[in-house]
Amino acid sequence: MREIIVTGGGTGIGYAIAEHFAAAGDSVTITGRRHEVLDTAAAALRATAVPFDATDPDAVTAAVAHLPERIDVLVNNAGGNTDFDRSTPEGLTALAAGWQANFQANVLSAVLVTAAVTPRLAAGARVITIGSIAARTGAGSYGAAKAAVEAWTADLAGELGPRGITANVVSPGLTERTEFFRGNLTEDRRHALITATATKRAGTPADIAALVGFLASPQAGHITGQVLHVNGGAHLGR
């Protein structure tokens, strides 16, 4: 039985990924900041909930004691566009705070958790980090943070490769049935994003989970350092 960790596993894409592994018979641990959401998800999935803030070094250090001793798959899903939680910044201090918030939520969370559990990664383990189409198409500090995730993953693949461990980014486009937009997605914007795809539909969390599941499989052992796009052709990863 494989040991799987999914950060931000209480809702949306993270929940779908955790559900995919749980259905395959794996032992799943989900993490997140919201205790009640995490506990509800863990009960539904028959998973283990370990609540902590992945951007806080002390919290990550303390949480390691509650994580599996051997880890076969780490999915860094925690993150999101923190600009949706803030008003439009005015002045350089507010601008800096906005950029720092997206960097911490999307880059630092993945870096800290991965560094903390690297000694526990089994030979042939998988590290999969959720990126975004915004890294290629732009979205202010959020897009820049997801671009940084891609650069960090390239380094990580080289670092972990000698142990047979792969590191990849799964980069979604518009994905519905998540909390990502915090109610800020207008129908006009949604229509424009769907029109930009070749498939003429939005993505779903299950679309992302399916690719994560493949990258976690033995068949994906020679795929590493890559960015794999799941966006219906809205951006061509070539």
Nearest residue to 53 via CA among 13, 108, 11: 108
* Residue 167 covered by a domain: yes
* Residue 174 covered by a domain: yes
- Which residues have a Cβ under 8 Å from the Cβ of 66 and sit 6 or more positions away? 50
CA distance 38 to 14: 11
* Residue 32 covered by a domain: yes
Q: Does pLDDT of 88 surpass 90?
A: no
Q: Does pLDDT of 67 surpass 90?
A: yes
pTM of the model: 0.94
CB 46 within 8 A of CB 22: yes
Number of structural domains found in the chain: 1
CATH of the domain at 108: 3.40.50.720
Sorting pLDDT into bands at 50, 70 and 90, what band is 184? confident
- Which position among 142, 143, 211, 230 bears the catalytic label? 142
* Residue 111 covered by a domain: yes
* Residue 237 covered by a domain: no
Q: Rounded mean pLDDT of 134-148?
A: 95
Sorting pLDDT into bands at 50, 70 and 90, what band is 83? confident
H or E element: which one contains 75? strand 71-76
User: How much is the mean pLDDT over the chain?
Assistant: 95
CA distance 121 to 9: 19
Catalytic residue status for 142:
yes
* Residue 54 covered by a domain: yes
* Residue 236 covered by a domain: no
* Residue 238 covered by a domain: no
Q: Does pLDDT of 95 surpass 80?
A: yes
**Structural domain containing residue 22:** 3-230
